[in-house]
Amino acid sequence: MSIVSLLLAPTLGYVDRGILKLDNTTFDKIVDGSRAVIVRFDKEYAYGDEHDAWKDFAKKVGESSASLLSCDVGVSEYGDKDNADIAERFSIKTDDFPQYRLWLKGSGSDKSPVVYSGEKKSDAFLRFVQEKAGVWIGLPGQVKELDAIAKKFGTAADKTGLVAEAKALGMSDEAAKYYLKVMDKAAADGGFISKETARLQKMIDDGSVKPAKKEQFGRRLNVLSSFA
């Protein structure tokens, strides 16, 4: 039985679904480069909105087919300060908790991780790992077949060929139409993705925008993240 299976076995009734708890006896065995691993460094007993967002993210990852593990390193604030040595190893200060680090497939714990500095929200975590780790989880608004084409768009010499490939799929729902719109715009303007991402994020942060519109803009941000 693999080390991952052994760690998962006793967590079947654990409320934080999809999260592996690591300590200094298991950290290097899990973060070994055989798969992408995202790790949250936080106090031992975390709670609140940020914790709930992380739990929701980990549950979605766990229920998907993505080759990605979501892990916790809980640092004790008292006594022997368990796992403080792991946080110190990566120059993470307890005053900055929670902190998130992503090790890509092929990069073990002896390599520098990718630092997450975005919003501490479930969809933001999901966009981050899909973009950086190249895994497919499937966010609201995303279409798997079009997502695969979008991921090739940024470095493609023949962008019009990719647009034609996307159109040939014959999809016509709202999400597909937005993918095609983005492809047409991005083919003509190399800076479109970043500008549109900033514009939508500004609208989402605007307190006067109605919730239904914010949901729509969030779905569009998910699509844009496929092109990053």
Element (H, E) at 39: strand 36-43
CATH for the stretch 3-133: 3.40.30.10
Please state which architecture CATH assigns to domain 144-225. Up-down Bundle (1.20)
pLDDT digits (tens, 9 = 90+) for 138-185: 888 999 999 999 989 888 888 989 999 999 999 989 999 999 999 999
Residue 22: partners with Cβ closer than 8 Å, 6 or more residues away: 30, 31, 39, 71, 72, 73, 83, 86
Q: Tell me how far apart the alpha carbons of residues 139 and 143 are, in angstroms, rounded to a whole number.
A: 9
Above 50 in pLDDT, residue 12? no
- pTM: predicted TM-score of the whole model, two decimal places: 0.79
Which has the closest alpha carbon to 43: 74, 3, 16? 74
Residue 156: φ, ψ to 5°? -75, 135
pLDDT digits (tens, 9 = 90+) for 91-104: 999 999 999 999 99
The percentage of residues in the chain with a pLDDT greater than 90, rounded to a whole number, is 75
Task: Tell me the β-bridge partners of 37.
Answer: 69, 103
DSSP class of residue 182?
A: H
Query: Domain segments of the chain: what residues?
Result: 3-133, 144-225
Mean pLDDT for all residues in the chain: 90
